[in-house]
Structure 1
Amino acid sequence: MSKKIMILLIGIVVLNFFSLYIYNTNKNTSKISTDDKNIIAEIPEANIRLYYKKEESGMYKDFVLEIDKKKYFFYWKNTTNPVYNPKLILSDLNQDGYKEIIVILTKNIGTEVNVQEVHVIEINTMIEREVENPIHIIYKNVKTKLSSEQIEITINNNIKILDKEYIDIEPQNLLKDIAFGNVIKFEVEENKLYAVIPAQIASSSFVGNIKIKYIFQGKMYVMETIDFIPIEL
């Protein structure tokens, strides 16, 4: 076999492998069937639709994201409560001139519970970029102290004190410390992704929000800034 033919065959094998890799990575399932009755979110002007494949135990499961009739499969979940249907947003989060698809799902709801999950997908490559868990960010950057007299929240050596007027609660009903995580929400403002996590001091009692702004760094979205915003009394 000649050297040129050998190089050509190797090139074909490498190309096929690369094509298979891209196919699997993007989860392109153009042949998968979708039912228009299962459309749960869409951006009609951009030809973007989100379908769910099945409904089970109060959750929609297994989603198909359709963009210009190309379909991509994801093992996502969202509550079937229509108040919390998924949200689709187009925004250039990484400032590369191409918009990303931001998919906001609601994974858990209940009394004082509303936990969202976010997925960021580059529309030009269909690569999903990881978003750092906001609770992990809080654990790394926030320290708190809670008593019946005051609330102390320290973020990277910046201390905020809330006095007793924020603690209109019987001492026995206070938590041992401020709790985060029963409510996690995501939003997009001016091409920036934010996580908003309320600070809870007792049942049905919140004193403000931790707000995290994300920035694209390396291959994922990480914290750019973190702030605590007290509620207005």
Structure 2
Amino acid sequence: MKKFFICLLIMVLVCHTGKVHAAQRVVTSHIISDVWYENVFLIADKVDNMATKNFTVQVGGGVDSVGGEYLYNFPNWYNDKFAPKLFYEDINGDGLKDVIVALISGAGVALSTKETHVLNQARDPYTRYEEVPVESINDAVKRLVKMERKGNEITVLIGKKKYLVDFLKFGYQPSVDPPGVGAMEDYKLENGVLYGDTNVSVSIPEAFIGSLKVKYAWDGKMYKAESITFKEAEPLKPSS
């Protein structure tokens, strides 16, 4: 796979030197299949030692691009640090594999915000991929979750399900801040279903008290949060 390994070589050289004198196209993530038309490459311009922008999703191609390829350009996509996540799986139940990309929109100490992009595959009659909207984790939480604090008790209300969390048992410094989300986010696939995860903290992001898991479903126009579950964190055990 000449083109793929050439791109990887460029990426390794740039990362090693830490210098970028001009925009260089690199393969940031890839999925290699047994057949050329299910190979997927995520290609972008190197911004600096970590960040990439101006993405292209390539579906198909292999040794000397035998058989052709589909190219989709997204000039506004930006990835802050580390490698983006890439999936190629049917997540809307139509029997056709879709491309899912999870980019890092922000990163730092105790911070990792993500955004996800989905390219639905369609055949009408020719194969094509089209980006469709995905409800953000924050928007889903605002719509489906209510959180409040009264003294040391944190209440997380999701539909008719109510969770009560005692803030004191975690041993954090006293705080009067309300609970919040969004400092740590992630997207993943489980059995063909798209999920998003975010932390629940007080004095974001230090005082972690639990996490919210967002389950997405295709409604014919976009991927929208279908349900959310809360999992309380385990208090840290005192060191001996």
Taking structure 2 as the reference length, the TM-score comes to 0.75
Deviates more, 1:176-185 or 1:161-170: 161-170
Query: Counterpart in 2 of 1:224?
Result: 226
2: CA distance between counterparts of 1:101 and 1:150? 42
Of the three residues 158, 161, 164, the one matched with 1:158 is 161
1: CA distance between counterparts of 2:176 and 2:117? 32
Report the CA distance between 1:231 and its aligned residue.
1.6
1: CA distance between counterparts of 2:50 and 2:29? 18
Query: Counterpart in 1 of 2:181?
Result: 180
2: CA distance between counterparts of 1:204 and 1:129? 34
Secondary structure of the structure 2 residue equivalent to 1:131: coil
Report the CA distance between 1:152 and its aligned residue.
1.0
Q: 1:208 to 1:164 in 2, by over 3 A?
A: closer
Is 1:42 matched up with 2:43? no
Q: What RMSD, in angstroms, separates the aligned Cα atoms of the two structures?
A: 1.9
Q: Residues 91-102 of structure 1 correspond to what in structure 2 (within 5 A)?
A: 91-102=89-100
Deviation per residue, 1:79-119 (Å, 9 max, x gap) = 2x3xx301111111100001111111111001221011111
1: CA distance between counterparts of 2:176 and 2:193? 33
| Higher gyration radius (CA) | 1
Q: Residues 65-144 of structure 1 correspond to what in structure 2 (within 5 A)?
A: 65-68=57-60, 69-75=69-75, 76-79=77-80, 81=81, 84-124=82-122, 125-144=128-147
Is 1:209 matched up with 2:211? yes
Matched residue type, 1:107? S
Is the Cα–Cα contact under 8 Å of residues 150 and 167 in structure 1 kept in the other structure? no
Number of equivalences:
194
Matched residue type, 2:32? P
Report the CA distance between 1:147 and its aligned residue.
4.4
Residue identity over aligned pairs, in percent, reads: 26
Matched residue type, 1:161? L
Q: 1:100 to 1:214 in 2, by over 3 A?
A: same
Secondary structure of the structure 1 residue equivalent to 2:141: helix
Matched residue type, 1:60? T
Is the Cα–Cα contact under 8 Å of residues 166 and 207 in structure 1 kept in the other structure? no
Query: Counterpart in 2 of 1:55?
Result: 47
Is the Cα–Cα contact under 8 Å of residues 115 and 136 in structure 2 kept in the other structure? no
2: CA distance between counterparts of 1:223 and 1:140? 9
Deviation per residue, 1:150-192 (Å, 9 max, x gap) = 2111112321111255442232xx2520011112211110000
Secondary structure of the structure 2 residue equivalent to 1:97: coil
After the TM superposition, list the runs of 4 or more consecutive aligned residues in structure 1 that deviate by more than 4 angstroms.
none
Query: Counterpart in 1 of 2:56?
Result: 64
Matched residue type, 1:146? R
Can you give the 5+ residue segments of structure 1 that lack an aligned partner in the other structure? Answer: 1-34
Can you give the 5+ residue segments of structure 2 that lack an aligned partner in the other structure? Answer: 1-5, 11-25, 61-68, 123-127, 236-240
2: CA distance between counterparts of 1:126 and 1:178? 39
Q: 1:193 to 1:166 in 2, by over 3 A?
A: farther
**Higher helix fraction (1 or 2):** 1
